[in-house]
Amino acid sequence: MRQCAICSKGSQMGGARRLLRGHYNPVNWTRKYPNLQYARVKGVRKLICTNCLKTLAKKGAEAKTAPAAKTKIVA
């Protein structure tokens, strides 16, 4: 099964009901697939979902900029 290498997000089954002349018509189940993209993670090409790709981009942007000074506020 195609799934994300980081968060293990995979496909999901979902049903639908179509309204037809005042009556609901149950239709067959459909499979919804995650948006998987190839990306390099630690030098290895992997299939990861776009949510993980976005998170990795955020972490990469934080690492490239100067580290923020973490200060504790003591009341």
pLDDT tens for 1-52 read 789 999 999 999 988 777 778 777 777 888 999 999 999 988 899 999 999 9
31 part of a folded domain: yes
Task: Output the pLDDT for position 52.
Answer: 92
Asked if residues 3 and 45 have their Cβ atoms less than 8 Å apart, the reply is no
Q: Please indicate, yes or no, if residue 38 is contained in any of the structural domains.
A: yes
Q: At residue 36, what are phi and psi to the nearest 5 degrees? A: -100, 140
Residues spanned by the domain of 36: 1-54
Task: Determine phi and psi for 47, rounding to 5 degrees.
Answer: -90, 115
Q: Is residue 30 part of a domain?
A: yes
Distance CA 1, CA 39 (A): 18
**Structurally, how many domains does the chain consist of?**
1
Residue 61 is assigned to a structural domain of this protein: no
- State how far the Cα of 38 lies from the Cα of 4, in Å rounded to an integer: 10
- pLDDT for res 67: 52
* Residue 13, domain member (yes or no): yes
pLDDT digits (tens, 9 = 90+) for 55-72: 988 877 565 544 555 555
